[in-house]
Structure 1
Amino acid sequence: MEERVVVVAGALYAGERLLAARRSAPAELAGRWELPGGKVEPGEPPTDALVRELREELGVEVGELTRVPGEWPLKPGYVLQVWRAHLLDGEPRPLQDHDEVRWLGPGEVWSVDWLDQDVPAVREVLRFAGFPADPTSVRAS
């Protein structure tokens, strides 16, 4: 059986606002929005990977990680897992693989063009946080 690659993402909140990051690379993902994170390295615990990735990509320190139930397929052999994370230090800014970050209130979450594979994860993040999860206003790509 082929080993799967776990990609971790952080659902960072400031009050009721969720952080979204716009991809700048690779080219096929540029301009679309995602929950920030990245690949788990071999032998690395997923939570350690998330802390590392958010430090590298956004310049922030996070803690109090709580797993959002579920996992979502990305491309063949890759799955996405999401954790709710509390911002401990720093102001998120795009440092690596992103050109913009934005805090989205409950009524704004579906105003950005999420990566298709992130939509079900964002829906579950919203449910997990107790917010409406209706993506009917997601823009077509």
Structure 2
Amino acid sequence: MLLVVAAAMLDGQGRVLLQQRPPGKPMAGLWEFPGGKIEPGESPEAALARELHEELGIILKVKDLRPIAFASEPLAGRHLLLLLYVLREWEGAPEAHHATELRWVTPAEMRGMPMPPADVPLVEALVGMG
């Protein structure tokens, strides 16, 4: 079982931040929610705070994370469980430290973007929030 956390970072216009996977990584070129693996002994929220700081250079308060949905997907001989949180407040401007590009898009716009299989069902949860 591979436990992964991700954030749907919402700006004041209801857009969500997506990052593009860089060349040389599995699923390169696909758009995904920022986040990453939960390390042993780490809570999902602490893992997400750490990952967003590493990937985007932002700082957040764990209390500002709201769970919204999860996805379950077979992945390369293992099973991926992806926990998605909504985040509306953070400190700093997101920068692509490990991604090719960042893009702010509406949940409806995400429907037409190439995304990893585990991220696709999460889009509808965000569309339903609107």
Q: TM-score, normalised by structure 2?
A: 0.86
Distance in 2 (CA, whole Å) between partners of 1:12 and 1:40 is 18
Aligned residues: 125
Contact 1:62 1:86 in 2 (8 A): no
Distance in 1 (CA, whole Å) between partners of 2:41 and 2:79 is 17
- Return the match for 1:94 from 96, 111, 117: 96
Task: Describe the SS at the equivalent of 2:88.
Answer: strand
> Does the alignment pair 1:8 with 2:8?
no
Q: Which runs of 5+ in 1 are unaligned?
A: 132-141
Q: Of the two structures, which has the highest relative contact order with CA contacts closer than 8 Å and spacing of 6 or more?
A: 2
Residue aligning to 1:34: 32
Distance in 2 (CA, whole Å) between partners of 1:11 and 1:42 is 23
Q: Shift of the alpha carbon at 1:44?
A: 0.2
Alignment deviations for residues 19-38 of structure 1 (CA, whole Å, 9 cap, x no partner): 11100055331100001100
Q: Shift of the alpha carbon at 1:8?
A: 0.2
Distance in 2 (CA, whole Å) between partners of 1:29 and 1:58 is 19
Residue aligning to 1:121: 122
Task: Describe the SS at the equivalent of 2:25.
Answer: coil
Q: Shift of the alpha carbon at 1:86?
A: 2.4
Contact 2:60 2:90 in 1 (8 A): yes
Q: Structure 1 pair 10/73, CA: closer, same or farther in 2 (3 Å)?
A: same
Task: Describe the SS at the equivalent of 2:50.
Answer: helix
Contact 1:74 1:80 in 2 (8 A): no
Structural RMSD (CA): 1.7
- Return the match for 1:55 from 47, 53, 63: 53
Distance in 2 (CA, whole Å) between partners of 1:78 and 1:107 is 25
Residue aligning to 2:67: 67
Q: Shift of the alpha carbon at 1:91?
A: 1.1
Letter of the 1:86 counterpart: R
Residue aligning to 1:20: 18
Distance in 2 (CA, whole Å) between partners of 1:107 and 1:46 is 27
Q: Percent same amino acid among aligned pairs?
A: 34
Q: Which runs of 5+ in 2 are unaligned?
A: none
- Return the match for 1:85 from 68, 84, 87: 87
Q: TM-score, normalised by structure 1?
A: 0.79
Q: Structure 1 pair 18/74, CA: closer, same or farther in 2 (3 Å)?
A: farther
